[in-house]
C-alpha cells in the first residue's frame, strides 16, 4: 500500500484533523491562563459533575423499573439522590449560563460553543420535564395533565403526548439523555479547542 | 491592505499574559466527589416527595357526585376533553395564534370520543349485567336526536343529583337509558374496574394513560387536591411539586407569563406563551449574532467582577 493511498484514507484524514484541532496538550491541559481565576468557573465543572451523578442515579433507578421506588425505602432514597442531583445540575447550569453571558463567552469564534450550551440547556429542560411526568405518582398526573394544554396548543401534542407514560419514559431515559450527553461532550470539546474566552481589552476599546 | 476592524462584542483580544498550573483531572475528580456528597446530604436531609397517584376508584369513592357529574359531561360533550379539539377531536378549533389554529391544522392524532371511550365501551366490558345490557341496547338503537334529548333531560335534572345507598339518583323524566348508564359507570368506577377498562382499552400491553388521565382531569377532584398542594395554574402551576420542594424552578419564566395580564385571562394563553418562549429560546440561542443584545455584557461591565484579579493585575 502506497503512502498516498494511506494519506487518502478517511481514518487517516480524521485522525490528522482531530490531532491538529485538539492536540493532547489542549485536550488535557496542565496550565491555564491566569485570568481563569474566579468562582464562576467552578459552575461549568459543577454542571458536568452533576450530570454524571444524575446519570448514575438514574441508571440505578432504571435497574428495577419505573414503579420500584414507590415501594422500596432504598428505591425512594435513590430517587431522592436523583432529584437533588437534578436540582444541583440545573442550579449549576443556570449560574454557568449567566456567567458565560456576562463574559460574552461567544467572542473570538466561540459562538458554536455558546449555541451547543444553550441547546444542551433546552434538551435538559425536556429531560427534566419528562422525568417529572414519568414519576408515576400524583405529581406526574397533575404536571402531565396541565402541561398537555401548552404542548397541544402548538400542535406538538399530536406527536409528543405527555399523558403517554411509555413515550415519556423512553424520551426521559433514552433520547434526551443521549442528546444531553452528546451535546455536553461537543460543548466541552469546543471549549478545549477554542480555550476559555479572554477578558475584554478595555485599553483597546478606549483607544478606538 | 485593509485590516479588519476589531468588534469588541464579537472578537476576542489575543491573550499575551501568563499561565498558571492547572490539573484538570484532579479538579474534575474533586468536583464529582463534592457534588455527590452534596447530593447525598440533600437527599438525607430532605428526601423526595411521592404522593400516591389518584385512581378513578379513589376519586369516585371520595367524591361520587363529582364523578357522576363528570360522567354526565362526557356524555353531553361539555367536559373539557369533550370540547377540546385537536389532537383529541374536532369539537373546537382550539387556541389560536392570530388567525392560525396550529393544533387544528395538524388535526386529530389521538382520537378520543368521550361518549364511546369513557362511557359506552367501558360499560360494554362489564359481564353479567342484564339490565345494563338492555339499556345499552336501547342506546345503540336510538337515533342521534333521541340520544340528545335523553342526555339533555338528564343533564337538566342532574343539578339535583344525589348519591344515596351507593347509587346515583337523578329524578329525570324521558332520559331513556342514561340514568342506568351513569349509575352503572359510577358503580364500575367505585369497584376499580373502570381504571382497568380505560387502560386496557388499548390492548393487553400498554403504557398509555391518556384516557384515564383525561377522564380524571375532567373532574374537579384532581384540581381540588392540586390546589391544596399549591399546584394550580395561578399558583405557578406545573413548575411546583407536592410538598416544599423546589420542583422545576427552571420553568419559572414559562409559568410567569400565566400569572400576568393579558395571559391570565386569555383563552389563547397556551399558544401565546408557547410562542413567546420559542422566540426567547431562539433569541438566547442566537444571542452572539444579535446586535445590541450581545453588547449587554460589555456595557453592564459585570465582567469586571468576574475578572477583577485580571484587571487589578493590569493596573
Per-residue pLDDT of chain A (208 residues; tens, 9 = 90+): 677 888 899 999 999 999 999 999 989 999 999 999 889 999 999 999 999 999 999 999 999 999 999 999 999 999 999 999 999 999 999 999 999 999 999 999 999 999 999 999 999 999 999 999 999 999 999 999 999 999 999 999 999 999 999 999 999 999 999 999 999 999 999 999 999 999 999 877 666 6
What are residue B21's DSSP bridge partners? Answer: A31
Q: Of A84, A179, A78, A166, nearest to A126 (Cα)?
A: A179
Look at residues B112, B64, B255, B310 and name the one whose alpha carbon lies nearest to residue A33: B310
Give the best residue of B288, B292, B302, B308 to mutate against chain A (max A CB count within 10 A).
B288
Smallest Cβ distance to A107: which of B12, B95, B208? B12
Residues of B in contact with A73 (CB under 8 A): none
C-alpha Rg value of chain A to the nearest Å: 21
- State whether B250 and A38 contact (CB < 8 Å): no
Whole-angstrom Cα distance, residue B243 to residue B49? 6
Task: Find the CB nearest B40 among A81, A107, A110.
Answer: A81
CB < 8 Å from A in window 160-189 of B: none
Cα dihedral A27, A33, A35, A39 sign: positive
Partners of B208 in beta bridges:
A164
Contact A164, B210 (CB under 8 A): yes
Nearest residue to A65 (alpha-carbon basis) of B160, B313, B207: B207
How far apart, in whole angstroms, are the C-alpha atoms of residue A187 and residue A190?
5
Count the neighbouring beta carbons within 10 Å of the beta carbon of residue B95: 24
Q: Say whether residue B287 is in contact with chain A using an 8 A CB cutoff.
A: yes
Q: Which residue of B has its CA nearest to A42?
A: B31
Delimit the domains of chain A by residue range.
39-196
Within chain A, where are the H helices?
A: 3-8, 10-21, 24-27, 42-63, 68-71, 73-102, 111-133, 138-153, 165-170, 176-194, 202-207
Cβ–Cβ < 8 Å for B256, B280: no
d(CA A1, nearest CA chain B) in Å: 40
Helix, strand, or coil here: A103? coil
Please give the pLDDT value at position B233: 72
**Is B36 touching A (CB cutoff 8 A)?**
yes
**Chain A interface, best mutation among B9, B15, B249, B254, by max A CB count within 10 A:** B15
Give tens-digit pLDDT for B70-84: 999 999 999 999 999
With bands split at pLDDT 50, 70 and 90, how would you rate the model's confidence at B4? confident
In angstroms, the CA A153 to CA B79 distance is 18
Question: Which H or E element spans position B19?
Answer: strand B19-21
Q: Does B15 touch chain A (CB under 8 A)?
A: yes
Whole-prediction pTM: 0.93
Please tell me the distance in Å from A8's CA to the nearest CA on chain B. 35
Query: Given a cut of 90, is residue B213 above it in pLDDT?
Result: yes
Distance from CA of B189 to the nearest CA of A (A): 18
Q: Does B271 touch chain A (CB under 8 A)?
A: yes
Q: With an 8 Å Cβ cutoff, is B40 touching chain A?
A: yes
Residue A112: per-residue pLDDT = 97
Q: What is the pLDDT of residue A206?
A: 66
Bridge partners (DSSP) listed for residue A71: none
- Per DSSP, A200 falls in state P
Inter-chain touch A30–B23, beta carbons under 8 Å: yes
What ipTM was reported for this prediction?
0.94
How much is the pLDDT for B238? Answer: 65
Q: Nine-digit cell at B8? A: 469588541
B238·A146 Cβ contact <8 A: yes
Whether B37 contacts chain A with CB within 8 A: no
Rounded (10°) angle between helices A111-133 and A176-194: 160
Please report where in the chains the cell 423512553 appears, as a residue. A170
CA distance B150 to chain A (A): 31
Quick one: fold of A39-196?
Cytochrome Bc1 Complex; Chain C (1.20.810)
Question: CA–CA separation, A169 vs A103, rounded Å?
Answer: 37
Note the Cα B68 to chain centre separation in Å. 23
| Cross-chain Cβ contact B54/A69 below 8 Å | no
What CA dihedral angle connects A206, B4, B10 and B16, to 10 degrees?
A: -70
A102: chain B residues, CB-CB within 8 Å: 297, 300, 302-303, 306
Model pLDDT, residue B148: 95
CA dihedral over A104, A105, A107, A113, signed as positive or negative: negative
Q: Are B107 and B86 in contact (CB under 8 A)?
A: yes
Is the distance from CB of B196 to CB of B175 less than 8 angstroms? no
Asked if the Cβ–Cβ distance from B9 to A104 is below 8 Å, we say: yes
Amino acid at each position: 500500500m502506497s503512502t498516498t493511498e494511506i494519506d487518502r484514507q478517511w481514518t487517516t484524514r480524521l485522525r490528522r484533523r482531530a490531532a491538529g484541532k485538539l492536540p493532547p496538550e489542549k485536550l488535557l491541559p496542565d496550565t491555564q491562563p491566569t485570568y481563569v481565576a474566579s468562582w464562576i468557573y467552578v459552575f461549568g465543572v459543577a454542571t458536568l459533575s452533576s450530570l454524571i451523578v444524575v446519570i448514575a442515579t438514574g441508571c440505578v433507578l432504571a435497574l428495577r423499573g419505573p414503579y420500584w421506588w414507590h415501594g422500596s425505602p432504598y428505591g425512594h432514597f435513590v430517587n431522592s439522590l436523583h432529584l437533588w442531583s437534578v436540582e444541583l445540575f440545573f442550579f449549576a447550569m443556570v449560574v454557568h449560563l449567566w456567567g458565560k453571558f456576562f463574559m460574552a463567552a461567544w467572542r473570538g469564534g466561540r459562538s458554536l460553543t455558546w449555541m451547543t450550551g444553550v441547546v444542551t440547556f433546552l434538551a435538559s429542560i425536556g429531560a427534566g420535564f419528562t422525568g417529572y411526568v414519568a414519576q408515576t405518582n400524583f405529581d406526574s398526573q397533575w404536571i402531565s395533565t396541565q402541561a398537555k394544554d401548552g404542548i397541544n396548543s402548538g400542535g406538538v401534542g399530536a406527536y409528543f403526548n405527555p399523558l403517554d407514560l411509555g413515550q415519556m419514559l423512553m424520551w426521559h431515559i433514552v433520547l434526551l439523555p443521549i442528546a444531553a450527553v452528546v451535546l455536553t461532550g461537543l460543548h466541552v470539546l469546543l471549549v478545549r479547542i477554542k480555550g476559555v474566552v479572554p477578558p475584554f481589552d478595555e485599553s483597546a476599546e478606549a483607544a478606538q | 491592505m485593509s485590516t479588519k476592524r476589531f468588534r469588541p462584542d464579537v472578537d476576542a483580544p489575543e491573550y499575551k499574559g501568563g499561565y498558571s498550573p492547572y490539573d484538570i483531572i484532579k479538579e474534575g475528580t474533586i468536583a464529582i466527589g463534592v457534588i455527590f456528597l452534596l447530593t447525598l446530604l440533600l437527599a438525607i436531609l430532605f428526601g423526595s416527595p411521592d404522593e400516591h397517584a389518584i385512581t378513578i376508584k379513589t376519586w369516585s369513592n371520595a367524591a361520587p357526585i363529582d364523578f357522576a357529574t363528570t360522567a354526565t359531561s362526557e356524555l353531553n360533550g361539555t367536559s373539557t376533553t369533550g370540547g377540546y379539539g385537536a389532537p383529541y377531536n374536532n369539537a373546537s378549533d382550539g387556541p389560536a395564534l392570530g388567525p392560525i389554529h396550529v393544533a387544528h391544522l395538524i388535526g386529530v392524532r389521538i382520537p378520543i370520543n368521550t361518549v364511546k371511550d369513557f362511557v359506552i365501551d367501558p360499560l360494554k366490558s362489564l359481564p353479567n349485567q342484564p339490565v345494563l345490557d338492555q339499556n345499552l341496547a336501547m342506546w345503540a338503537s336510538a337515533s342521534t336526536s333521541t340520544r340528545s334529548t335523553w342526555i339533555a333531560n338528564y343533564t337538566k335534572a342532574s343539578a339535583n343529583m344525589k348519591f344515596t345507598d351507593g347509587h346515583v339518583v337523578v329524578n329525570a323524566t324521558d332520559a331513556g337509558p342514561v340514568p342506568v348508564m351513569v349509575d352503572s359507570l359510577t358503580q364500575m368506577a367505585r369497584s376499580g374496574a373502570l381504571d382497568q377498562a380505560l387502560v386496557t382499552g388499548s390492548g393487553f400491553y400498554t403504557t398509555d394513560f391518556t384516557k384515564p388521565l383525561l377522564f380524571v382531569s375532567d373532574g374537579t377532584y384532581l384540581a381540588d387536591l392540586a390546589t391544596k398542594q399549591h399546584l394550580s395554574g395561578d399558583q405557578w402551576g406545573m413548575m411546583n411539586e407536592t410538598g416544599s420542594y423546589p420542583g422545576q424552578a427552571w420553568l419559572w419564566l414559562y409559568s410567569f407569563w400565566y400569572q400576568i395580564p393579558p395571559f391570565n385571562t386569555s383563552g389563547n394563553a397556551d399558544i401565546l406563551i408557547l410562542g413567546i418562549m420559542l422566540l426567547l429560546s431562539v433569541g438566547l440561542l442566537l444571542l452572539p449574532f444579535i446586535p445590541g443584545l450581545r453588547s449587554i455584557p460589555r456595557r453592564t461591565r459585570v465582567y469586571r467582577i468576574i475578572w477583577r484579579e485580571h484587571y487589578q493585575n493590569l493596573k
